[in-house]
Chains A and B, each alone.
Chain A
Amino acid sequence: MTTNPISMSGKHALSVRSLSMSYGTERVLNEINVDLRAGQVLGLLGPSGCGKTTLLRLISGLLLPDEGEIEIAGEKVAAPAVGIALPPEKRGLGMVFQDYALWPHMSVARNVAFPLEMKRLGAVERKERVVKALDRVGLAAMAERRPSDLSGGQQQRVAIARAIVAEPPLVLFDEPLSNLDRELRETMVEEIADLVGELNLSAVYVTHDQSEALTLANHVAVMRAGRIEQLATPDDLVNQPKSPAVADFLRLGCLLPAVKDSDGWTVKGTNLRLPAAPFDGAEAEVLLPERALSPNGSGTEKLQAEVVRTQMHSAGQALSLRVSGTDHLIRILTSTPVRSGELLELSFLPEDLRWFPVAAQAT
């Protein structure tokens, strides 16, 4: 199994080349390059306004790019340089919208049948495939209901059935779960993951929720300010974040500014010692990953921290701690009860730290 998304072997479900897009003078997407192999899921993750939804709408054809190229299943669908701009209906996609976008004047079955109708399939086959698609999402019994009679989760399942019924080469998910409450979201993520696996779907999944992206996607593109900050497997993202911004967005742990003096590295503005960095340089940001820290653990490096706030979670007690002698906060989960104001000793291993060199600023 190869995890390299740029590999040219095999058929690409989606291939985006130097894609750029501006609203007026504001550049919302800048030189985006992504490839997605058939049968894989690409997660687009980022805070609102990062350009992820714009990218998805460009792929769907609901927006047209200023520059660059988009290929879906080997066919160029948008390439302004050569005058190609296929409208959405010519791209053969399936799409799930954040607000479901079910047509309220049609029954569930008619909604799901619509893409097949547009493909001019015969009534018999249409019906058969609608039943199959609704069955997959567990709503075969609701076929004759109106969408407005269904709950939010059921409506989104119908929308998913509509997106997959025509077996498109690429399915687009536009924050499909953000209108649902948390428990439902967690079950739906698993359902979608199962569905994608069973049908061997190629999909692009836009979300601002990192756990959704990490659960569903084979590759996740973390986006920021119109650029892809990092494109990697979920595993690599968590273990090897490429920049402080990625680490921060994924809430991987505490980011500390570090400086090197004659004695070695310290946390900036304090005399807190840090283990040696694996690179040359005078300044860096260092990530103290949350999962590398444990209270009273066996790590070789120690850190004093004061408990600022505790919060009960189902999985244990969530602690906010202030690193002694600094203003920096760390969060960890613990199973042993502690109280606010207590001092804890946290330990970690030097190799768990992630270092991001800061280029020396010209003064």
Chain B
Amino acid sequence: MAGGSVATGAEGSSFLKWTATLGLLIVVAVPCLFIVVQAIFPEFGSGSFAAPFSLFFKTLADPDLFGLAGNTLILGVGTVVCAAILAVPIAALRALFRVPGALIWDALLLVPFMIPPYIAALGWIMTLQPRGYLEQVAGFNLAPLLFSVYGIMLIMGLNTFSVVYFVLSRTFETIGARYSDVGRVFGAGQWKSFWRITFPLAMPGLAASLLLVFAMSIEEYGTPAALGRRIGFEVLVTGIENRISEWPIDLPGAATLSLVLVSMALAAFTLQRWLLTRRDYRIVSGKPQASDKRRLGVWALPVVALFAFLSFLATGLPILAILATALTRTISGGLTPSNFGLDNFRELLGSGSDGLVALGNSLALGVTTALLAGLLGAITAYSVVKGRGRFRIVLDALSITPNSLPGVVVAVGIILAWNQPWLPVTPYNTPFILLLAYICILLPQPVRYATASLHQLGDNLEAAARVSGSGPLRAFVRIVLPLILPSMVTAMILVFAVASRELVASLLVAPIGFQTIAVYIWQQFDQGSAGLGMAMAFCALVITTLIPLVLVSLMRWISKGTVAGLN
């Protein structure tokens, strides 16, 4: 009954409200603000507001920009096409037929979520380059394909199609059980009812997941940087990175390009949100019901082969390539038994090695980011859920803004904000700057988990605490926080996994000489020590994937059914 605009006597704690506001201002608003200011006032760095917009329009009119923006769009659209071609058929097969080993394929197709795209791209380079593993095994290489615009699209499509696959197979299945069966009762055949009912109803879901793929691919740094640079194919992300990391450093240009990139990402996310919240054509959600699926019959073998092939391309091949590179002493030695050994791992993990330091740095940063982002996310979500009016809208908007902020843009904003010469103290050039960057990039995850979890809590649980004599802050600490903790832990594990191997922001804002896992891998690969880099990549995959996986399943098992929000 309580409407949003009514004065409630049980407001959330104002301490938490101001903590959330302050946190979001520092972490999100400040970097965004500085990008905008810098783009408008090119002389801002030297403390002057002179010549506003002088460079802004110049950069916007720069043919370079058109090239970069055009390439970004081409790459985004191409990746979407690849992902759709890869995902739609197998999603339909998975939803409508009894595919042998379906659960195994599902599990394998989850793996691309866990491999950072830049690591997969490096794996593909090792495989397809001249004298790569493919040539050693099969006698030919696909370097011309890999180092082409289509190659980049294909690799990025392979990294992202499982997003579409999971959304779509679930949607197909739900619609199939709920609506398509009704069509069949009224006389439509299975195929007709798929094309006339299931597919049109699944369109919004398909479109939304493809938009997500689009946003992911225009924000991606590692793959275009590793593959595109060799053929001079630059996109906005790599263009921005160039303007910050190479002389002459062009901050206003980087800021303007960032604004262009953010507008694209924002457009994609706005469209996606609109699709997902539209009333008239709601995306069918919910648990797929058990429905009787058709047998594949003689098609069972080809279909299984297709699933196996795609799973191998998306999951098996990059990991095998990483492992092969890590386990061979020299790249030139190739895949011969005498060349295999643990030398790379020995060097990487030797006491006092750079690799060990980088691992330690990343793990410490990952854990700290997870804890801080989790706490800030929980407080923010709570303040938004309990909040009213304009305040709530501002807080909500700030907390989801980073969704459309690519890592490279966050890095630009942070450099612009915290590298100002007039600042008396600054976290710049300390590891804390990485913490700020990671929290900004990953904040939407814990906010989303916490919001979902808070909406599952009955209002009366907190009301009961207030009536029982507990103040708002204590009600949060004693009642709300423990109840959303399980899903917060899940969110924090996710944050840890992503933060501990984040690439582009780390490359740009890490203090000089400070290495993280991703920076280490990137530099080793650049310097030709691919073996060391891939050994680190393998360790990173194990640490940041297996540990969280084990933790999550352990938690699910412990809290089996007793806590809302986990399952």
A95 within 8 A of B: yes
Contacts of A23 in B (CB 8 A): 3, 5-6
- A63 B483 Cβ-Cβ under 8 A: no
Interface size, A (range): 35 or more
Residues of chain A from 58 to 89 with CB closer than 8 A to chain B in the complex: 60-64, 78, 85-89
- B483 A88 Cβ-Cβ under 8 A: no
- B466 A88 Cβ-Cβ under 8 A: yes
Residues of chain B from 530 to 567 with CB closer than 8 A to chain A in the complex: 562-563
Bound: A329/B237 CA distance, A: 77
B479 within 8 A of A: yes
With A88-B463, A148-B562 given, is the CB distance from A118 to B469 under 8 Å? yes
With A103-B479, A118-B468 given, is the CB distance from A64 to B7 under 8 Å? yes
- B461 A103 Cβ-Cβ under 8 A: yes
A119 within 8 A of B: yes
- B7 A63 Cβ-Cβ under 8 A: yes
Determine how close the nearest CB of chain B comes to the CB of A338; give it in whole angstroms.
44
With A24-B5, A62-B10, A85-B9 given, is the CB distance from A101 to B470 under 8 Å? no
- A61 B466 Cβ-Cβ under 8 A: yes
- B482 A105 Cβ-Cβ under 8 A: yes
- B8 A53 Cβ-Cβ under 8 A: no
- A104 B471 Cβ-Cβ under 8 A: no
Bound: A24/B3 CA distance, A: 9
Contacts of A89 in B (CB 8 A): 466-471
B460 within 8 A of A: yes
Bound: A101/B470 CA distance, A: 15
Determine how close the nearest CB of chain A comes to the CB of B558; give it in whole angstroms.
13
B1 within 8 A of A: yes
- A62 B7 Cβ-Cβ under 8 A: no
Bound: A114/B467 CA distance, A: 11
- B5 A54 Cβ-Cβ under 8 A: no
With A61-B466, A62-B10, A118-B469 given, is the CB distance from A101 to B2 under 8 Å? no
Bound: A88/B483 CA distance, A: 21
B33 within 8 A of A: no
Residues of chain A from 3 to 25 with CB closer than 8 A to chain B in the complex: 23-24
Contacts of A119 in B (CB 8 A): 469
Bound: A105/B457 CA distance, A: 12
B458 within 8 A of A: yes
With A115-B468, A118-B470 given, is the CB distance from A63 to B461 under 8 Å? no
Bound: A61/B468 CA distance, A: 12
* CB closest residue in chain A, given B463: A62
A206 within 8 A of B: no
Contacts of A91 in B (CB 8 A): 467
Bound: A323/B466 CA distance, A: 54
Contacts of A99 in B (CB 8 A): 458, 460
B300 within 8 A of A: no
B296 within 8 A of A: no
With A54-B1, A88-B463, A89-B470 given, is the CB distance from A61 to B483 under 8 Å? no
A166 within 8 A of B: yes
B182 within 8 A of A: no
Contacts of A87 in B (CB 8 A): 9-11, 466, 471-472
* CB closest residue in chain B, given A49: B1
A289 within 8 A of B: no
Bound: A78/B7 CA distance, A: 13
With A57-B2, A85-B9, A88-B9 given, is the CB distance from A103 to B483 under 8 Å? yes
Contacts of B364 in A (CB 8 A): none
B positions within 8 Å CB-CB of A:
1-3, 5-11, 458, 460-461, 463-472, 474, 478-479, 482-483, 562-563
Chosen A-B contacts, 20 in total, with CB atoms closer than 8 Å, are A60-B467, A62-B2, A62-B10, A64-B8, A78-B9, A87-B471, A87-B472, A88-B463, A94-B467, A95-B464, A98-B460, A99-B460, A101-B461, A101-B464, A103-B461, A104-B563, A146-B562, A162-B468, A166-B468, A172-B467
16 new A-B contacts at CB < 8 Å, known A53-B1, A86-B9: A63-B7, A63-B8, A87-B472, A88-B10, A88-B466, A89-B470, A92-B469, A94-B468, A103-B464, A114-B470, A118-B468, A118-B474, A146-B562, A162-B464, A162-B468, A172-B467
A positions within 8 Å CB-CB of B:
23-24, 53-54, 57, 60-64, 78, 85-89, 91-95, 97-99, 101-105, 114-115, 118-119, 146, 148, 162, 166, 172
